[in-house]
Structure 1
């Protein structure tokens, strides 16, 4: 698989330098325990269900508007490809108009670039239109990235998930999994990023664990739908709109901005409430 070659804007990095940890809810001041017993200090919980999905995005996410020339086509991320859609959040690649025009794509990324390990969950329907890649992933660089991806040109696209740690130095860093679930319906996709491995889940069932090329750098979380016409990956561009529908993205994580000492102090000051189960 070819890397994304994403372009993170310098302005985003400048903003990240001034980010402070969000004030934690007193009810979860002692953190969030996942199903494997790991306790995470912080959270970003984004419920897009209802008619105000775009308003929820604006609380903790940035809608991307950058462009890049790829080998096959120019792609342009556009704000109008992230929008309220069917009582959820729509992220779209528009129908391509033909040679000489850019491919209009959609992407959101967390405002925070200081996330270092955590458990990340997304409830979503994948697009049904052939010719795009739908991704949910951590990202710092093309060599510091973990992906959950769906290729709608896969022969069995409704049932195939691609799990990868970049830069994929060996074939064992990437796993293609065929599942029984219909991925064009809502399913919960989960990525647990740990120091020594990444663990991938579908509807709370563990599907794969990858212990090679594990990222170790503070990162953002992203979700996007894109195509550049690459015959070895995204295929396309799509002949009709390709829309991912996202009900929620819930992130539970540690960061480089909120250390264990500060976390323990906040927990104590809040009266040591029970750790929240997630």
Structure 2
């Protein structure tokens, strides 16, 4: 198994363009380093995967089950299954290992070995809500150190309205090379793919510990951060409709993307 671990997701949405009043505790304010602007969001959803002991005890995230056949240069398809989404909470309020051992959090697994029926068993969860419209979206993630998988934390409305943070474990194998995070926006066909595909070197290696990955989506722009440090900002391809969030981890053996399978 290759494991992708999520410790904490904090989402703020329902954007309003003014500052929080000192007398009001209902808002959530963010500050853009690049544009030096403050934004206020009126709703907050926080998911604490470090302490969640029963996936059915919450209604915010749903495990996904679906199949997609092999396409292009991929030798296998993808099979998202219930059993590849595993909770491994802390046994108490503190600690460094979950109840199953290993790092604590939500585990999204990619299965090793010859795929059954031609599809690699993988894991995915998505928000039940599909009405998120602008926000500051964040996830604490520790990525796998095993070669051959793709992981993603992303907003999705349609194939022309998507904001991605993507990981390819094959990029993190050589310690002499910078570890690139892939920042990707899917917009209409009138927008150049190259303009919205941004490999961005990190100052750390994603498999070495939990790090906060964040994107802020406002009517004007999309801004990416890692551990609070600015990575990239664009005003091109900004989605204009509501959608939801997805966290996933998968492989289909495609040498041009996920590579794999993991050992």
TM-score after normalising by structure 2: 0.74
1:221 aligned to which of 231, 245, 248 = 245
d(CA) in 1 for partners of 2:24, 2:140:
22
1:74 aligned to which of 60, 71, 77 = 77
Q: Deviations over 1:107-140 (max 9, x none)?
A: 0100011111100010110111111111000001
1:83 aligned to which of 82, 86, 101 = 86
- Structure showing greater relative contact order (alpha-carbon pairs closer than 8 Å, 6 or more residues apart): 1
Question: In the alignment, does 2:197 pair up with 1:182?
Answer: no
The farther-off stretch of 83-92 and 113-122 is 83-92
Give the equivalent residue in structure 2 for 1:63: 63
Question: In the alignment, does 2:214 pair up with 1:211?
Answer: no
Give the paired residue count.
Answer: 213
Query: 5 Å matches for 1:123-162?
Result: 123-154=140-171, 159-162=179-182
Give the equivalent residue in structure 1 for 2:26: 30
Q: CA deviation at 1:59?
A: 2.6
| Higher helix content, 1 or 2 | 1
Q: Deviations over 1:117-174 (max 9, x none)?
A: 1000101101111111110000011111010000011255782200111146231211
Gaps of 5+ in 1: 1-20, 22-26, 240-278
d(CA) in 1 for partners of 2:54, 2:174:
26
Give the equivalent residue in structure 2 for 1:118: 135
Give the equivalent residue in structure 2 for 1:43: 44
Give the equivalent residue in structure 2 for 1:248: none
d(CA) in 2 for partners of 1:170, 1:98:
31
Give the equivalent residue in structure 2 for 1:231: 255
Contact 1:31 1:42 in 2 (8 A): yes
Q: Structure 1 residues 109 and 157 mapped into 2: Cα distance closer, same or farther (>3 Å)? A: farther
Q: Secondary structure at the match of 1:41?
A: strand
Q: CA deviation at 1:54?
A: 2.9
Contact 1:54 1:89 in 2 (8 A): no
d(CA) in 1 for partners of 2:52, 2:116:
36
TM-score after normalising by structure 1: 0.71
CA RMSD of superposed structures (Å):
2.3
d(CA) in 2 for partners of 1:98, 1:190:
33
Q: CA deviation at 1:28?
A: 7.3
Q: CA deviation at 1:99?
A: 7.7
Contact 1:54 1:82 in 2 (8 A): no
Give the equivalent residue in structure 2 for 1:17: none
d(CA) in 1 for partners of 2:82, 2:201:
33
Q: CA deviation at 1:182?
A: 2.2
2:221 aligned to which of 190, 197, 202 = 197
Gaps of 5+ in 2: 1-13, 15-22, 33-37, 89-97, 99-103
Question: In the alignment, does 2:171 pair up with 1:170?
Answer: no
Contact 1:172 1:210 in 2 (8 A): no
